Structure 1
Amino acid sequence: MKRTKIILLLMLMSIATAIAQQQGGKNIHPKVTDIWVVFKTHFDLGFTDLPENVFRRYREEMMDNALTVIEKSATLPPEKHFAWTVSGWPLYAQILGPLQTPERRARIEKAIKSGALVVHGLPFTTHTESLDYEDLVRGLGYSTAITRKYGLPTTISAKMTDVPSHSWIMPTLLHHAGIKFLQLGCNPASQYPRFPELFWWEGPDGSKILCNYTSLYGSDIRPTENWPCKNYLAMQMTGDNHGPPSSQEIDKLLAYAAKEMPGVKIHFGTLDDFAKAVLAEHPDLPTVKGDCPDTWIHGIQSNPRETKIARNIRPLESALDGLNTQMQCWGISTSPLSEKLAKAYEQSLLYGEHTWGMNAEYGPRYSYGDDWKKWMDEAAAEPLPENGNYATLKNSDAHNTATGSKRKWLRSYDEKRQYILNTNDIVDKELHQRLDMLAAAVNKSGKRIVIYNPLPWTRSGMIENPSEKGSYCYIKDVPPSGYVSYSLDELKAQSVTTDEKTEFSTPYFNVVFDLTRGGISSLIEKSTGRQLVDTSSTYVIGQFLHERFSTHEVNKWFNAYSRIKEGWGLNDLGKPGMIDASKAPYLAFTPRAWKINVAHTNVTDIVTLTTTETSGFATNYTLTFTFPRNTAYVDVSWAVTAKTADKQPEGGWLCFPFNVKQPTFTIGRLGGPVNPATDIIPGCNRYLMAVNSGVSVTQPDQSGMALSSADAPLISPGEPGLWKYSMDYVPKVPAVFVNLYNNMWNTNFPLWQDGSWSESVRIWPVDKGASTVANLVQHSWETRLPLLTGVAAGQSGKLPAKQGGIAISRNGVLITAFGENPDGNGTIVRLWEQAGISGNCTVKFNNSRKVKAVLPIDLRGNKTGPAIAVKNGSFDFHLGKYSPASFQLIYPD
């Protein structure tokens, strides 16, 4: 039986159970007076089919079914009018999109205006911690656009289903968008955060929202035993892309309510209706402050190349927005950007949606050994569907019999990858065009380069010399959101010497390399004499570790994690069909024969380790260690050539064992930093999590080590964390492991990785007494958002050779938006505090068109306070720790 049908059956069984247990009107929770029944289906972008077919079903079949039920119930009393809740993006982009017919659109719009077709605040279910701040903000805009278009109140509720846990950015994000209630429902097989049923969820900035968490997609019609309020939410969910309930199912529910629940008012309504009712009670509820790392997050590294692109390009979305606006402030005319940028954000968000391909049961899911390779040969030989159009395969039930079904399954993974490739194409093209325009506009003649700083604080750093590939230049003091420029003649060529020594000295470190394990076995900080490597560890810094897992590790994890031990629970979460551990035992592999080459220049010392002794896991591996001569950090880059595809569970890591006593981990999560010993809700992922900034490991005097990756978002604190689950794990060993790739899960992530790609990590020492979070934020964002360059030649322009842009009075505050208002007219600037500091903040513009004032707005563009005057190009306001602040710019008439 298909997973979607089983989930639907579970929900129907819960209603039947409620009916059986409540015969005669007994056992209703005595405190409950009103039950709010909300109907929704779970939206999967592509799990049940290719996205194009899912979208068509939403536009046509599902809408026809929903409209039929809506129109039939219109003759009933108002509280019995059927209302169907839909996620923001599919309603905005597909159901109301350009492919909708005029006739159906008219019926849909009528249903929206009447309140029968309802949008909640979020676009769909996301792997939330994999995204960046502005992606999440732009995702709120779809439902906002719908409510504004049809003159409806902006929704105050939101809903996600399936993914068990989400970053504690959610309370902060929703509170600052005016959303007051969040309902989260878990996949029936997965473990889940041990939240109270109804509670206040507090984010790292102190924001609170009302939250209802259910361990299934939704909830029974029967109130639970300890429900704390008079108003109860019966969240009635149908399964993955199943569509609305039928009129017959609703009639049965109404008949049951009339007969078996006397005295209790049954309302068919919306999440907003419930939220308003329960908030009016002013309930006494517990407050929970904590983070919820996603137990499905391993899946994003099943696409390591595309996830690297996502990690690289998402900060550049904001950088492009800011550069475009700043250039206009400097008098440079640029082409329209808002529609292109909106498309880039949409495609980035779609890559962050929680389904990454079709259900893996349509692929070689249970085949190991060489069987799955035979399946792949068969897939390659399959003819394409008629005219090469997969849309002719109309529903998921036809997958196993329709022509081209295997190719279709493979194509679904490519279509997921394409979303972030689309974002990359848009942002990369528009950004480089503008950087080159800026270079052409500076007052330097001939061949020249401009170096742009997309961060709002002064910084220095390395760039690659555009006239000498592989050569680097160190650029000092690039102004906030500004630039410096040089002629290519001013960028001096480097002299290079090479050797094969395993020990050498840089201006900041004494370094020793281990060619057996492939990494740094000793890293001594010259200024303090500290040994930065844990020399007692099995690993060295930068060591590559490949793990291949056996049935022992897989089954141990499955038995601890899955709530459904057979059927689709086993098929989705386990690895049925694996070769037994006695024949395929666990293996931890590191190449043991590395060759070294060291290149010394006046700017860098670069160590390259290579090996071809790969035991068949790849053609070769390369590790590159870059030591800048002007800054105390080390860049570690791993590259693989022709990795071998393998369906056996596996994963790759870069290892960073640090010499830190009594270690405290500070993990820079989306929303705010986390101490895994105190800040993670039980039931969430403690072994593997996505990082937004970086990780610090410090000892009681605050000294220690930190790292950040521009490419790889997943880390494990203390030990490698694939195939591990615990309710209470706390890392004790001062090591961080950065995940390079994995094929941990069967459900809808790619089942193997192959090919050639690279990933990098930056590490740096943390000084005694340093502010851990501020240090982590500044260095991490300088890693993730490097200095950007443009080149030009010919006649000089009029701009000065060096100029600053918009600046913030303290470091550690990001500008996530500075451009055209996505929620209306005008220009906005959005800041997001990262360093954990509350207090006064000053924003200073560099604008040829003087800003008169700024109007505070929320994350959906609604006014939140009186205008603030801009004097001498700057304004002051209070910025809370880990909080966003958005303003619309007001110019003189």
Structure 2
Amino acid sequence: MHIKKLKILLIGLGILFMSNANAQHSSKAGKVTDIWVVFKTHFDLGFTDLPENVFARYRGEMMDKALNIIEKNASQPKAKQFAWTVPGWPLYAQILGPLQNPERKARIEKAIREGFIVVHGLPFTTHTESLEYEELVRGLGYSSKIARTYGLPLPISAKMTDVPSHSWVLPTLLNNAGIKFLQLGCNPASQYPRVPPLFWWEGPDGSKILCQYSPLYGSDIKPVENWPCKNYLAMQMTGDNHGPPSEKEINKLLDDAEKNLPGVKIHLGTLDDFAKAIIAEHPDLPTVKGDAPDTWIHGLLSAPQGARIARNARPLEPALDGLHTQMKTWGIPASSISAKLAKAYEQSLLYSEHTWGMNAEYGPRYSYGDDWKKWLAEAEAEPIAENGDYSKLKNSDASNTKQGSKRKWLNSYDQHQQYIRNTNEIVTKELKAHLDLLAGSVNIAGKRLVVYNPLPWKRSGMVENPWKKGKYFQVKEIAASGYVSYSQDDLKESTATNDAQSTFSTPYFNVVFDLTRGGISSLIEKTTGRELVDKSSKYVVGQFLHERFSTNEVDKWFNLYSRIKTGWGLNDLGKPGMINAEKAPYLTFTPNEWKISVSHSDLADIATLTAVDAKGFAKKYTLVFTFPRNAAYMDTEWSVESKTPDKQPEGGWLCFPFAVQNPSFTVGRLGGPVNPARDIIPGTNRHLMAVNTGVAITQADQSGVALTPLDAPLISLSEPGLWKYSMDYIPKTPSVFVNIYNNMWNTNFQLWQEGSWAERVRIWPIDRHTKTVPNLVQKSWEARLPLLTGTAEGPAGKLPVSRNGLSISRSGVLVTAFGENPDGKGTILRVWEQAGISGLLKITLPGGLKAKKAIAVNLRGERLPTPSLKISNNQFSFSLNKYAPASFIFE
């Protein structure tokens, strides 16, 4: 959600009002002696208009206003010299980008060098928990490049606005990048984390960052009542893409401060100025250690097709990086891919920027039923303007949408999805070319393939035959980051038998299907005799559940969650205009009759369930359950053909009720695992959250069941979690629900879902002798990052038929970068501990790298004050803390 109504917001220039107990204003400054006033506007990638039009305003109109104030105030005393803070990506890619005119660019560059246009450390506001580690790291690079280009120190402060809460990867990320201070501001309507106004935020690795949290976009010039320090930050924000304040507004702010805050020094400055001042105080502040799941994260599954692409494409970025580097060390000529990889990371970041389309007030926000269908038909009949200028189209209806045609609003959502499609296109195209080149280089003649393992530990698995779609073969123990080659003749085709039995046995499980609910009603682990399905649940494992919500559920959630009950607060967070509960009551739907067909081969037992009647919710539903014969797990794949769009609030789930006594939950989040009973900060999302790996549910003897969603990262624990908010909810029932679509939002996520797509989830039993977190991490990443194949034919190459690659001494440590250093010269290796194990880690490099020393650097490429590590026999060791990153440049 992105707040446009400045008169209601009262955000900028000293007229904020905070209604919560932690932020009540006092007319007395208390012990505050210095106030640091920082000016910024809230950057929305789209929302107020199409992105290209927003960018044009940043490059032109906004910069002209800021430069005019800067240049006019240049002769003023330091305390009155205006500085404007901007996020890294817009400044680097747009304001200083190739479309900027030379004269204005020269003025901007002068203002940057003199410290009046200031960049903070982050690229923009993100749905942080939706990302992967290396996207977050690469996002820091835009500010770093600006600082290095203009001979400035790297920024030590960062800022995000609007999104209420973020994954606790942030303290780890920022601390390990040399950033000292983070300012977070919520929009005025949403609920927010209940934290002190200034505190140390501790990440799962023990890293800390100084954090100021405001329940509004920024903070008033008057210090809050319980501010603990002499230095205070007045974060002065203008609204969504509104640009800098006027000179008149700045002067009024200073005059009011001089009158109302006698004896207090007012400094116009930067976030870094405040950070240096507050840190020099050595304040005694509380430490908050906990995760803050995003209360807007449901928006990811407003576009399930895009979410699937993102979940699968993002792990392939570091895989491509590492394969390219290793191929060079193996003697395969390959040109640089750094520009293409940088573009892939940029597009992926833009996909997780927090604005996913234009404001719903420009679309059919209040239309439901036949009115909405009429609106949609009219929008789809309008033409698409390739240049984004819809005002000149003959069919434009500006009076209806305020910002141009209906088609413009509709198309804005597709434009956002294009970012992740761009990432996927770049990465998959380059990976295919690399893998095929590798296959052509191995010493096998004729048709052959290579199977490449992109993880840094040994693994086995099933691989699809590239020449026979739907046919698979088993590969065993492929070396870490290595490959194995096969000729076409080596691939033995397995035979299969087919039946329609709903009960069967595999090497690891006894399975019983329920053809009324569409799922598994009994799954017994053979080695222990454990029943893995909760027989007391009303759901079965793998069941598809559709919910349609009424005004009762929506209004209850709205009254709990929204701090603004009318006006834009109701429009953005509620669902005004909904068909009422009498005419459209809450309902749940699962097809109640399924047909089954089962295929048995020496590789897998595969059961396919097809719904007999989809009741108009879609053309067809299918569930496929795959039980490999060489590994103790099960894959569930749900697919829909032609889902029926519906603007009435709805959501879809895959249900996984497990038989676990007195369950303990471990949620594999970005940054580190979370126990929802103790690790979630009050006020954030307890009912729905994104997972990076998956979820494990265990009992007292440590046995249990785990799952990882391969395509849709949102999960709820114990019960479906749409339209629910609580300050203290703790899951008790051992069930996981994977969200596969929803239209919960009413602001700038898609308002309905349609089309055909699929969602996959892997589940496996956890043995009582297995450590939960390492097991969850290893099994999840082996599911999320599959074995990769390349093919070739013709004369044999010179490489051996199999080869080792980069390896680590224990599984559960990811290699998130191994390639050209994005922050300078050399080759960078970045690893990130995931399994919760601190201690010595040994890295074995591919032999052709010929590195002699490993230089430790932080996440922005700055050298750390530690001695270089000697590399001997392609190996070096170092101590790695749990859940922490480590980066090295090779000499």
- Identify whether the pair has TM-score above 0.5, normalized to the shorter chain: yes
Q: Indicate the SS of the match to 1:860.
A: coil
Distance 1:671 1:531 in 2: 32
* 1:214-252 deviation digits (Å, cap 9, x = unpaired): 000001110011100000000000000010000000111
Corresponding residue for residue 715 of structure 1? 715
Contact 2:449–2:789 under 8 Å retained in 1? yes
Q: Indicate the SS of the match to 1:642.
A: strand
Contact 2:13–2:249 under 8 Å retained in 1? no
* 1:785-833 deviation digits (Å, cap 9, x = unpaired): 0000001111111111111100000110000000000001111000000
Q: Indicate the SS of the match to 1:370.
A: helix
Distance 2:89 2:7 in 1: 23
How do 1:197-216 residues align onto structure 2 when only pairs under 5 Å count?
197-216=197-216
Contact 2:514–2:520 under 8 Å retained in 1? yes
Distance 2:789 2:317 in 1: 16
Distance 2:420 2:516 in 1: 38
Amino acid at match of 2:863: K
Contact 2:718–2:734 under 8 Å retained in 1? yes
Distance 2:99 2:16 in 1: 39
Note if 1:169 corresponds to 2:169: yes
* 1:811-870 deviation digits (Å, cap 9, x = unpaired): 100000000000011110000000000000000011224110110000000000221100
* 1:287-332 deviation digits (Å, cap 9, x = unpaired): 0000000000000100100110000000000000000001011111
TM-score by length of 2: 0.97
Contact 1:516–1:591 under 8 Å retained in 2? yes
Corresponding residue for residue 435 of structure 1? 435
Contact 1:612–1:619 under 8 Å retained in 2? no
Greater Cα offset, 248-257 or 730-739: 248-257
Paired residue total: 881
Corresponding residue for residue 131 of structure 2? 131
Shift of 1:446: 1.1
How do 1:182-331 residues align onto structure 2 when only pairs under 5 Å count?
182-331=182-331
* 1:323-346 deviation digits (Å, cap 9, x = unpaired): 000101111111220000000000
Distance 2:387 2:229 in 1: 58
Distance 2:389 2:662 in 1: 60
* 1:741-791 deviation digits (Å, cap 9, x = unpaired): 000011100100001000100000000131000000000000110000001
Distance 2:286 2:475 in 1: 52
Question: Structure 1's 696 and 47: CA in aligned 2 closer, same or farther, altered over 3 A?
Answer: same
Amino acid at match of 2:693: S
Corresponding residue for residue 874 of structure 1? 875
Amino acid at match of 2:743: N
Distance 2:870 2:254 in 1: 57
Structure 2: 5+ residue runs without aligned partners?
A: 19-24
Amino acid at match of 1:59: R
Corresponding residue for residue 886 of structure 2? 885
Corresponding residue for residue 533 of structure 1? 533
Structure 1: 5+ residue runs without aligned partners?
A: 19-24
Corresponding residue for residue 486 of structure 2? 486
Distance 1:401 1:615 in 2: 34
Amino acid at match of 2:868: A
Distance 2:871 2:13 in 1: 61
Distance 1:563 1:26 in 2: 21
Distance 2:637 2:386 in 1: 45
Greater Cα offset, 828-837 or 465-474: 465-474
Corresponding residue for residue 506 of structure 1? 506
Distance 2:679 2:639 in 1: 34
Shift of 1:369: 1.2
Distance 1:116 1:721 in 2: 46
Corresponding residue for residue 834 of structure 1? 834
Amino acid at match of 2:796: S
Contact 1:831–1:884 under 8 Å retained in 2? yes
Distance 2:689 2:465 in 1: 36
Greater Cα offset, 3-12 or 242-251: 3-12
Distance 1:12 1:411 in 2: 32
Contact 1:444–1:797 under 8 Å retained in 2? yes
Amino acid at match of 1:636: T
Amino acid at match of 2:111: A
Amino acid at match of 1:577: G
Distance 1:401 1:762 in 2: 43
Question: Structure 1's 7 and 686: CA in aligned 2 closer, same or farther, altered over 3 A?
Answer: farther
Corresponding residue for residue 620 of structure 1? 620
Corresponding residue for residue 811 of structure 1? 811
Distance 2:705 2:349 in 1: 33
Distance 1:369 1:389 in 2: 30
Question: Structure 1's 397 and 884: CA in aligned 2 closer, same or farther, altered over 3 A?
Answer: farther
Q: Indicate the SS of the match to 1:715.
A: strand
Distance 1:466 1:260 in 2: 74
Amino acid at match of 1:413: Y
* 1:579-632 deviation digits (Å, cap 9, x = unpaired): 111111111100011000000111010000001411110001000000000000
Greater Cα offset, 608-617 or 186-195: 608-617
Contact 1:52–1:391 under 8 Å retained in 2? no
Contact 2:16–2:219 under 8 Å retained in 1? no
Distance 1:403 1:239 in 2: 18
Contact 1:53–1:391 under 8 Å retained in 2? no
Contact 1:814–1:834 under 8 Å retained in 2? yes
Contact 2:3–2:187 under 8 Å retained in 1? no
Question: Structure 1's 521 and 697: CA in aligned 2 closer, same or farther, altered over 3 A?
Answer: same
Question: Structure 1's 392 and 887: CA in aligned 2 closer, same or farther, altered over 3 A?
Answer: farther
Question: Structure 1's 399 and 508: CA in aligned 2 closer, same or farther, altered over 3 A?
Answer: farther
Corresponding residue for residue 654 of structure 2? 654
Shift of 1:872: 0.8
Amino acid at match of 2:817: A
Greater Cα offset, 260-269 or 746-755: 260-269
Shift of 1:14: 4.9
Distance 2:225 2:315 in 1: 46
Question: Structure 1's 163 and 815: CA in aligned 2 closer, same or farther, altered over 3 A?
Answer: same
Amino acid at match of 2:62: M
Q: In percent, how many aligned pairs have the same letter?
A: 71
Distance 2:399 2:878 in 1: 57
Corresponding residue for residue 21 of structure 1? none
Question: Structure 1's 701 and 401: CA in aligned 2 closer, same or farther, altered over 3 A?
Answer: closer
Distance 1:715 1:230 in 2: 43
Amino acid at match of 1:181: F
Shift of 1:268: 0.2
